[in-house]
Structure 1
Amino acid sequence: MMTSEELTRRLSNLAGEFNVAGASAALWHDGRVTRAVTGTANAHTGAPVLPHTLFAAGSVTKVFTASLAMTLVEDGLLELGAPVRAYLPEFTAEQPDRAAAITVRMLLNHSSGLAGDYMPDLAPGDDVLERLMRELATLPVTGVPGERWSYSNMGMGTLGRLIEVITGESYDTALRTRIIRPLGLNATSDAEELLLRSVAVGHTVNPASGNLSPVSRLRAWPENGPAGSRLWLDIDALIDFGRMHLDGTTSQGHRLLSPEALHEMRTPQFDSFWGCFPMYANYGLGWALVQAGDDPVLVHGGANLGMHSVLYVLPTQKAVLAVLTNSTTGFNLYSALCERLMNECFDISSPAPTYLPEPAVEVDEEQYTGVYRSPNGEVTVDVRDGQLHLRTVPSPSLTTWDRLNGRPTAEVQALPLICTDAERRRFSMDLGSSAGFAAVQFFNPAADGRPAMIRVGTLYERT
C-alpha cells in the first residue's frame, strides 16, 4: 500500500508540472486509506488546501444522480424501462414523437438524444428544473432515442426533475436525504453552506505565461445541478461515496443499493462504443467503464469552472481512487496520477484510442458533405483540395464555458478527415501538431448513401 508521504510527493510534483493551484487525492484499498493534499485553495488569499476542503464535483455528480435514481428503483417508485412521460406527462421536445420514446434508462445511459451542453444559466431557485423542462420543449432530440450513446447534461437535468416529481422534494433535498446524509458526507449543493467551510475556488491557467487566476464566477448554470454544476465535496466524501459502490452499503452497514442495482449500473449498455468516449471501453448507468465484465473498473470525471475531478471504483480489488483539483489544468494532473497508480497498484491501463489514420481507404466524398446540427453547435463537412474536411462551430453556451475557463476564443478551422473503415463509415480527424487524432463516424445512410448523422464527440443530425 502506498504511503501518504509517497502520494503527497507525487501529487505535489504533478501539481508543479501542470501548474495546478491545489489538489487533494486519496486511495482506499481493502480497508486502508492513503490521503494527500497540496497547494492552495485560493491563489489570491493563499489559503491552503486542507483534507476537508470542498472542491467542485463537476460531472462526477452524474453518478450521485444515477445512484439517487436507483434508490427510487429499489423502492419500486421508478422503472428503468418506463417512458419519461409516465412520470412527467408534459415532457416534450421539438419532435414530440421522439420525446415520447425516451425512457428512464436512456437518461441514465446517455442515449436519449437530449441536448448535450445546453446551458441557459437560468435564475436559481427550487423550481429551476421545472423551468428547464419548458426550455427543453423547444429543443430537438438528436437521432432515434435509445439507438446511440451521446453524452447529455440535459438528460441528467430531466432525470433530476423526474426525481423531484416522484419524491415531492427539490433535487438538492432528495440528494441530501437519500445519499449525502446516509453516507455522512462532507458535501453540499447549498451556496450558503459553502461560506461556512474551507472551499477551493477554480483557477484558470494562462497557456503562455502559466499565471494562475481565480475564476470570475464560483458557480454557474443552476439548471445543470443534477449533471454537475452545484455539488461540492471533500476527498473523503468522494472516497466514501465510491466505497458505497463496492457493496451498496454505508460505512455503518446501512444498505443504500442492492447487489442487483450495482450490477445494473455496471453493465455495458452499448454493443459498439467506438469513438464515443476516449479512454473508456463502454458506459453503464451513470458510470463510464474502463473495464467491463467480471472485473469491472468504474470511472467518472468532472469539470466545473476552473476545476477537475475524477473517481475510480474497482469492485473486485476493493479499491477506490479519487482526485480533486482547482485549476483548468487539473485534468492533466489527475490523468497522469491515476493512470500510473492504476497500473502500478492494480495492473490496469485505460483502453488506448484507436483513431490513427490508417489504413486509409477511398470513399465517395460527396456522400458525406453537408451541414449537421445539434444544440451543441454546427458541423460542416466539405471537400477542400480533394480531401474531406470538417469544421465545427460551437454553440454560444459552449463559447461562454470556454471564456469563463480562461480559454481564448479559438479560430474555427476546417480539419482533414481520413476514412479508415468505409463499411462502418469511420474516419480519423487530424487535430494538428501534437494534438493527435479524433474519431469521427457517420450513421444512418439514406437510399442515396448520404448519412443522416455524424458523431464528433457528440451526435449531430443532417439539416
Structure 2
Amino acid sequence: MIGTCWSRARTRRSPPDAAHSRCPCAPPYESRRVRSCVRRHQSPVRRRSSRTSARPAPNGHHGRVPTPPPTPAPEPRLPDPDELRSRLAEACERARVPGAVLGVSVDGERTVVAHGVRNVATGEAMTVDTVNQVASVSKVFTATTLLLLCDEHGIGLDTPAADVLPELAGADPAVTVRRLLDHSSGIQCDLFDDFGPGPDAIGRYAAAVPGIGSVVAPGRFFSYSNAGYVALGRLVERLGGASYDRVLARRLFGPLGTERTTLRLDEAVLHRVAVGHDLGPADAGAGGNGASGATVPRARPWIDQRSISPTGGVISCVPDLLRLCELHLADGAGVLGASTARAMRVRSSTTPDPYTAGPGWGLGLTDCTGSDGEPVWGHDGLGVGLAAYVRIVPGRRWAVAMMGAAGHTRPAWQELWRELLREQGMVMPELPAPDPGIDPGIDPGIDPGIDPGIDTDRYVGRFSRLSQDLEVRVGDHGGLELVTTPTGVLARFGQPTTAPLRPVTTDVFAVRATTGVEAAVVFTDELGGTGRAARPAYLHTGLRATPRATPQDR
C-alpha cells in the first residue's frame, strides 16, 4: 500500500523519526513509493540530460568505474522475542491498533509475539494463540486446496470453468480455472448477498455468479474478484466430495498440523478470540454525540456468512498462518505437489496498478517482488475491523505473518515487515528512491487540492461496479476529487466519502484511504471518441477495475 505522506521527489530521505513527525501513520521512507513506482512502470520517462564525456577513470578504465562485487547477504535469523514485542507495541501505538500478533519463521523455526488487547470492551489480553478471521488470506487456503484436488483429478488450469462447475453454465469459455485463480476472469468482485447458513450456501452463491456480469473481458487485465473465489470454493466442494469446511479440514488443516484454524464459529469459540475494531467518536457513548472529533478504537462484530467462506471466512492464528507459509516455502511439503506449489509463485496476471499490492498475481498468491528482483510472495486480508497479512521469501526460507484486531492495521504492518526484511539484508519489496535525473512532470510542491494543469475532462465522470459507485468530479478547489459510495450490502458498512485526487503523473493519482494511508487511483484503457480526446475506460483502485458507468460518461 502507498505510504501516508507525499513529499518532494528530489528531497533527500529523512530518518524514520522525521518521517513519523510529518505523519504519525507513515512508515519510514514510504512517502515516495507511488512516485518512484510510476517511474519504473511507465515509459517513456523524461530525464534531464546527465551524460558526461567519457574520460579515463583512475583505475585506467574508460567510463564508469566497475561496480565492486556485492557483499554477501547475511543468513536469515530469527529476531529476539523481546525486541520484536517492543517493536510491535510501538508500531501498534502509532497506528492506534488495540491489539495484534506478529510472527517470523526462518527455516521452520518461529518467533511469535503479541501486544495489546483482543477486545477493548472486556480488556482481555491479546495472546500469541488468539484466533481471528483472516479475511482475504482465506484465498491462499482455497487456492492451495483446489490445486491439490485439480492435480488428483487431472484437471488442467486452462479448462473452461463451466466445464467442471455446472453452476457457471453459460459463462464465457474464456473464464478458465486459471483466470479465476489469478483474478483475470473479469468477473465482478463484491457480491456479498447472504445465501443462508445451510450447506448449500456456497453452491447457491456460485450459481448466482454468471448473473452478476463482468467488469472487463476475461484475460484483459487483473481485477480482483471475491465472487470468482467463491466459485472456486464450490469447485473445491465438488472435487472434494463434501462441504468446503470439511474438505479443507481433511485435506489441508489436518496435514498442516494447524491447531486452531477452522471455518466454524462454534469451533472458534473454544479458543481465545479477538473481535474487530474500528475508530469511532470518543464521546459517542453514554449520550455523547461525537462532537469532540476525537476517536478511539471500538469493538465490531464478525461477519457470519457461510457463503463467503472461500474468499474470506477462514478463522486462524499467527502460528497456523506461519504453518501455511512454511508449506509454500518447502514447495508443498508433501501436502501439495512440488511443481504445483512452485507454479503458484509464477506471475500469471499483471495489474494496471502495481502500487497497491505488487506488480501482479500468481495462482492465489500476490507477487510482491521488489526492485532487487528477489521473489517475495504473500497476501493481505482486510475485513470489518480486522486485518491479516502473510509474506514469504522462498529463496531464504523466511516468512512473516501478522493479525491485527483493527481494520486500520496496515500502517503498523507496513512498517514492521519492511524493517524485518532490511535487517535480514534483503532489499525491501518496494521501488527505489526517485532518480534525481527524472523530471516528475508536475510541481511536486503543489497543494493536493490544486490542479497542476491536467486535463480534468479526461477523467471526470461516473464509474460503477457491483457494490460501489465512484464519481470523479471537479471540486470547489478547482482540482479533481473522488466520491466513493458503497451500494448494496456494503452500504451497511460505510458511508459515502469525498477526497481530493492528488496527481502523481499522467493517469495516476493518489487518494487518502479509510485505513489512513494513501491509495493509488489509476486510469487505464483509453476510449476513442469523435470530437473529444480519448478518455480512460477504467478506474483501477483497491485492486478492482471499475468501468465508466454510462455512454454519456464515455
TM normalised by structure 1 equals 0.86
User: In structure 2, do the counterparts of structure 1 residues 332 and 40 end up closer, same or farther at CA, with 3 Å as the change threshold?
Assistant: same
Q: 1:372 corresponds to which residue?
A: 463
5 Å matches for 1:342-421? 342-352=421-431, 358-360=440-442, 366=457, 368-382=459-473, 390-402=482-494, 409-412=495-498, 415-416=500-501, 418=503, 420-421=505-506
1:84-120 Cα offsets, whole Å, 9 max, x none, are 101123415xxx5x63321111111011112222211
Structure 1, 199-208 or 142-151: larger mean CA deviation: 199-208
Q: 2:136 corresponds to which residue?
A: 59
1:25-79 Cα offsets, whole Å, 9 max, x none, are 1111124321211222222233222232212211111111110111012213432
Unaligned regions of 5+ residues in structure 1, if any?
A: 403-408
- Three-state SS of the structure 2 residue aligned to 1:412 is strand
1:218 lines up with 2:302 in the alignment: yes
RMSD, matched Cα: 2.9
Distance 1:384 1:26 in 2: 44
Q: 2:15 corresponds to which residue?
A: none
Q: 1:124 corresponds to which residue?
A: 197
Distance 1:199 1:27 in 2: 21
1:214-264 Cα offsets, whole Å, 9 max, x none, are 21x222333211111x211122111111000012344xxxx0122211221
Deviation, 1:210, is 4.1
1:241 lines up with 2:314 in the alignment: no
Q: 1:75 corresponds to which residue?
A: 152
Q: 1:101 corresponds to which residue?
A: 174
* Aligned partners of 1:20 and 1:325 also within 8 Å: yes
User: In structure 2, do the counterparts of structure 1 residues 277 and 173 end up closer, same or farther at CA, with 3 Å as the change threshold?
Assistant: farther
- Three-state SS of the structure 2 residue aligned to 1:211 is strand
Distance 1:455 1:410 in 2: 18
Distance 1:357 1:110 in 2: 34
Aligned counterpart in structure 1 of residue 340 of structure 2, from 261, 264, 271: 261
* Aligned partners of 2:482 and 2:498 also within 8 Å: no
Deviation, 1:410, is 4.5
User: In structure 2, do the counterparts of structure 1 residues 335 and 368 end up closer, same or farther at CA, with 3 Å as the change threshold?
Assistant: closer
Structure 1, 368-377 or 237-246: larger mean CA deviation: 368-377
- Three-state SS of the structure 2 residue aligned to 1:150 is coil
1:454 lines up with 2:533 in the alignment: no
Structure 1, 313-322 or 16-25: larger mean CA deviation: 16-25
User: In structure 2, do the counterparts of structure 1 residues 366 and 203 end up closer, same or farther at CA, with 3 Å as the change threshold?
Assistant: closer
1:438 lines up with 2:514 in the alignment: no
- Three-state SS of the structure 2 residue aligned to 1:263 is helix
Deviation, 1:359, is 1.6
Runs of 4+ in 1 over 6 A off after TM superposition: 353-357, 361-364, 384-387
Q: 1:406 corresponds to which residue?
A: none
Q: 1:235 is aligned with what amino acid?
A: V
Distance 2:96 2:457 in 1: 45
* Aligned partners of 1:106 and 1:112 also within 8 Å: yes
* Aligned partners of 2:523 and 2:537 also within 8 Å: no
* Aligned partners of 1:55 and 1:233 also within 8 Å: yes
* Aligned partners of 1:115 and 1:152 also within 8 Å: yes
User: In structure 2, do the counterparts of structure 1 residues 450 and 274 end up closer, same or farther at CA, with 3 Å as the change threshold?
Assistant: closer
1:310-352 Cα offsets, whole Å, 9 max, x none, are 1111111111111111123322222221121122224231324
User: In structure 2, do the counterparts of structure 1 residues 239 and 453 end up closer, same or farther at CA, with 3 Å as the change threshold?
Assistant: same
* Aligned partners of 1:366 and 1:383 also within 8 Å: no
Distance 2:406 2:86 in 1: 19
Unaligned regions of 5+ residues in structure 2, if any?
A: 1-77, 282-292, 443-451
In terms of Rg, which structure is larger? 2
User: In structure 2, do the counterparts of structure 1 residues 153 and 346 end up closer, same or farther at CA, with 3 Å as the change threshold?
Assistant: farther
1:111 lines up with 2:176 in the alignment: no
Distance 1:380 1:41 in 2: 37
